[in-house]
Structure 1
Amino acid sequence: MRKIRGLWKLLFGRTTILILMLLVQVVALVGGFVLLDKYVFIFNYLLGFISLIILLYILNARQNSSFKITWIILILFAPFFGVIFYLFTRVQPGTRFIGIRIEAALEEQAPYLTQDPYVLEALEEEAPEAAGLARYIHDSGKYPTYRNTQIRYFSSGEEKFEEMVRQLREAKEFIFLEYFIVDKGVMWDTVLEILEQKVKEGVEVRFMYDGTCSLSLLPPNYPRKMKALGIQCKVFAPITPFLSTHQNNRDHRKVLVIDGHTAFTGGVNLADEYINEIERFGHWKDTAVMLRGEAVRSFTLMFLQMWDIRETMPTPIEPYMRYDFQMETRLWGGGYVTPYGDSPYDNENVGERVYMDVLYSAKKYVHIMTPYLILDEEMITALTYAVKRGVEVIIIMPHIPDKIYAYLLARTYYGQLIDEGVRIYEYTPGFVHAKVFTSDDEKAVVGTINLDFRSLYLHFEDAVYLFRNQAIKVIEKDFQRTLEKCQKITKEDCRNYNVFKKLAGRILRLIAPLM
Structure 2
Amino acid sequence: MIIESIFILNLVFAVFTVFREKREISATWAWLLVLLLLPIIGFILYLFIGKKLSRNKIDDIRTQKQIGIDQLVDLQKEQWNEEELLPADAITDTAREMVHLFLETDNAVLTKHNKVELLTDGKEKFKRLFADIERAINHVHVEYYTFYDDEIGNKLLHLLEKKAAEGVQVRVIYDSFGSHGTTKKFFARLEELGGHAEAFFGSGRSFSSFRLNYRNHRKLVIIDGKIGYIGGFNVGDQYLGKSKKFGYWRDTHIRVQGNATDSMQSRFFMDWNATAPKQDRIEYQESYFPLVKRQGKTSIQIVSSGPDNDIEKIKLGYIKMINNATDYIMIQTPYLIPDDPILEALSLAAFSGIKVKIMIPSMPDHPFVYRATQYYAQSLIANGVEIYQYDNGFLHSKTLVVDDKISSVGSANMDYRSFKLNFEVNAFLYDQEISEQLSDIFKKDIEKSTKLTIEDFKKQSLWLKFKQYFSRLLSPIL
Same fold (TM over 0.5): yes
Name which of 296, 300, 303 aligns with 1:332: 296
- 1:409 is the counterpart of 2:376: no
Residues 333 and 470 in structure 1, CA contact (< 8 A), matched pair in contact too? no
Give the C-alpha shift of residue 190 in structure 1.
2.8
- 1:69 is the counterpart of 2:29: yes
Matching residue's letter, 1:488: K
Cα deviation 1:155-196 (Å, max 9, x = unaligned): 222221121122111111000000111123442233223222
CA spacing shift, 1:82–1:195, aligned 2, 3 Å: closer
Aligned counterpart, 2:240: 275
**What RMSD in Å do the two structures reach over aligned CA positions?**
3.2
Name which of 123, 127, 139 aligns with 1:174: 139
Matching residue's letter, 2:27: F
CA spacing shift, 1:187–1:416, aligned 2, 3 Å: same
- 1:227 is the counterpart of 2:227: no
Structure 2: unaligned runs, 5 residues or longer: none
Aligned counterpart, 1:442: 405
CA spacing shift, 1:108–1:79, aligned 2, 3 Å: farther
- 1:456 is the counterpart of 2:445: no
CA distance in 2, matches of 1:355, 1:260: 28
Aligned counterpart, 1:255: 220
Give the C-alpha shift of residue 295 in structure 1.
0.9
Give the C-alpha shift of residue 53 in structure 1.
11
Residues 119 and 147 in structure 1, CA contact (< 8 A), matched pair in contact too? no
Matching residue's letter, 2:278: T
Give the C-alpha shift of residue 69 in structure 1.
3.4
Greater alpha carbon shift after TM alignment, 66-75 vs 272-281: 66-75
- 1:312 is the counterpart of 2:278: yes
Greater alpha carbon shift after TM alignment, 431-440 vs 146-155: 146-155
CA distance in 2, matches of 1:400, 1:54: 33
- 1:99 is the counterpart of 2:63: no
Matching residue's letter, 1:282: G
Aligned counterpart, 2:231: 266
Aligned counterpart, 1:432: 395
Matching residue's letter, 2:449: C
Aligned counterpart, 1:493: 456
TM-score of the aligned structures, taking structure 1 as reference length: 0.82
TM-score of the aligned structures, taking structure 2 as reference length: 0.88
How many residues are treated as equivalent by the alignment? 468
Give the C-alpha shift of residue 412 in structure 1.
1.2
Matching residue's letter, 2:366: K
CA distance in 2, matches of 1:200, 1:91: 41
Residues 226 and 261 in structure 2, CA contact (< 8 A), matched pair in contact too? yes
CA distance in 2, matches of 1:294, 1:166: 20
**For residues 40-189 of structure 1, what are the structure 2 equivalents within 5 Å?**
47=12, 51=15, 63-71=23-31, 73=33, 95-106=54-65, 110-111=70-71, 113-114=73-74, 116=76, 117=79, 120-123=82-85, 126-189=91-154
Aligned counterpart, 1:27: none
Structure 1: unaligned runs, 5 residues or longer: 1-33
Residues 300 and 320 in structure 1, CA contact (< 8 A), matched pair in contact too? no
Greater alpha carbon shift after TM alignment, 340-349 vs 312-321: 312-321
CA distance in 2, matches of 1:415, 1:99: 37
Aligned counterpart, 1:512: 475
Structure whose alpha-carbon radius of gyration is higher: 1
Residues 182 and 188 in structure 1, CA contact (< 8 A), matched pair in contact too? yes
Cα deviation 1:271-305 (Å, max 9, x = unaligned): 11112244431221111001111111111011111
Matching residue's letter, 1:318: Q
Matching residue's letter, 2:116: I
Matching residue's letter, 1:424: I
Q: Which structure: greater helix fraction?
A: 1
CA spacing shift, 1:361–1:54, aligned 2, 3 Å: same
SS state of the match for residue 282, structure 2? coil
CA distance in 1, matches of 2:321, 2:49: 33
